[in-house]
């Protein structure tokens, strides 16, 4: 356990940030799953709409430091390639 006031504060801050970051990652995963479900159903228009909704969420995750920027770029690239091949 922390012995200093500043260390106790850091523990509280870390817990709060962890909660926010987990919620962000979960939200991103949900958006990506929607895109993948649309791709699996074979509906190109629906998949494009889902990707349009997912893209800002992914980019926000990168800007907030939840995901690496290259990871986001790779995911978007692969999803758009799969949609293109429908």
> Could you give all domains of the chain from N- to C-terminal order, each with its CATH number?
5-84 (1.20.58.110)
- Give the largest CA-CA distance in the chain: 59
Half-sphere exposure of 53 (CA within 13 A, CB side): 17
Residues 54/34, Cβ–Cβ less than 8 Å: yes
Q: How confident is the model over 16-29, as pLDDT tens digits?
A: 999 999 999 999 99
Query: 1 pLDDT exceeds 90?
Result: no
Give the pLDDT confidence score for residue 17 in this predicted structure.
97
DSSP string, the chain: ---SHHHHHHHHHHHHHHHHHHHHHHHHHHHHHHHHHHHHHT-HHHHHHHHHHHHHHHHHHHHTTSS-HHHHHHHHHHHHHHHHT-
Encode pLDDT of 27-81 as tens digits: 999 999 999 999 999 999 999 999 999 999 999 999 999 999 999 999 999 999 9
């Amino acid at each position: 356990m922390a012995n200093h006031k500043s260390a106790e504060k850091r523990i509280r801050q870390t817990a709060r940030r962890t909660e926010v970051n987990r919620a962000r990652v979960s939200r991103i995963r949900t958006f990506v799953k929607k895109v993948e479900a649309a791709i699996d159903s074979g509906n190109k228009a629906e998949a494009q709409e889902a990707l349009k909704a997912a893209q800002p969420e992914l980019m926000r995750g990168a800007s907030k430091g939840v995901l690496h920027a290259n990871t986001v770029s790779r995911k978007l690239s692969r999803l758009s390639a799969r949609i293109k091949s429908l």
